[in-house]
Amino acid sequence: MTTERARISLSVAPAYTGSELLAVMSARLLKEGQTVFAGVGIPLLAAILAQKTHAPGLTILFEGGVIGPFVEAGKLPPSTNEQRCSRRANMLVSITEVLLLLQRGYVDVGFMGGAQIDRFGNLNSSFIGDAENPKIRLPGTGGGNDIASLADMIVAMKHEKRRFVEKVDFITSPGFIDGGDTRAQAGLPAGGMFRVVTDLGILGFEAESRAMTVVALHPGVSAADIKANTGFELPVPDDVEVTPAPTPTELAILRELDPEQLYTA
């Protein structure tokens, strides 16, 4: 075992990167007609991939106030406030207005990542360590807390024990808080964590306890592999599904979108 991640042995090297795998598996979770809050990077790639494959009526929202854009292949925006975000958009509104749409229930899915996640889906993107003397300061919430508080969430991140922890150092974006009905008790009756997509598998949450569980494993990954790279007890059903590998069509679209591999290397 390495210091950060248990080794996973694959008989044949995959024809795609871990980031491409994250984007493809995330895209497959999105549905036709949904409205999705997407950040740059893997979330945006996944949303565009879904638009170009099975969900042409998917509407993308950017925190900067852009509604319904169609981002040009090879010209991915570096932030949600950049002009390339607005190509062929239906509307350009203020940040306040786009977040009010979220508050009113017009957003189906929020898409984000984080530095840490715990067994109940709480995300930390604020700092690592003690609040008074953190080891690392992170970007913070942006609109992450708003989105996680009001929409169903899909989280995409690499699967490492240092990221999947028993308890996050700080709750930037709430999942199911302490499990059970504690999210609703905290004043958040809507939304919650739907899926966590990693380079090892797809994770969901039990209906009553709201604890994380494995929904599917990616090709070549075993139950032992995913447990070894998780910092808490993670149930894996005996009959757990295996995800279909990314198709040549999905990979071709991704590589056209990000030819320089800014986000998929």
Q: Which residues are catalytic?
A: 63
Report the alpha-carbon distance of residue 186 to residue 199 in Å, rounded: 32
Both tokens of 33, joined, read 């007609």
Closest CA to 209 of 197, 188, 192, 224: 192
- Ranges of beta strands (E only) in the chain are 35-38, 59-62, 66-67, 91-92, 109-112, 116-117, 123-124, 127-129, 134-137, 152-156, 192-197, 201-205, 212-217, 241-242
Contacts of residue 264, Cβ cutoff 8 Å, sequence gap at least 6: 17, 19, 20, 23, 45, 254, 255, 258
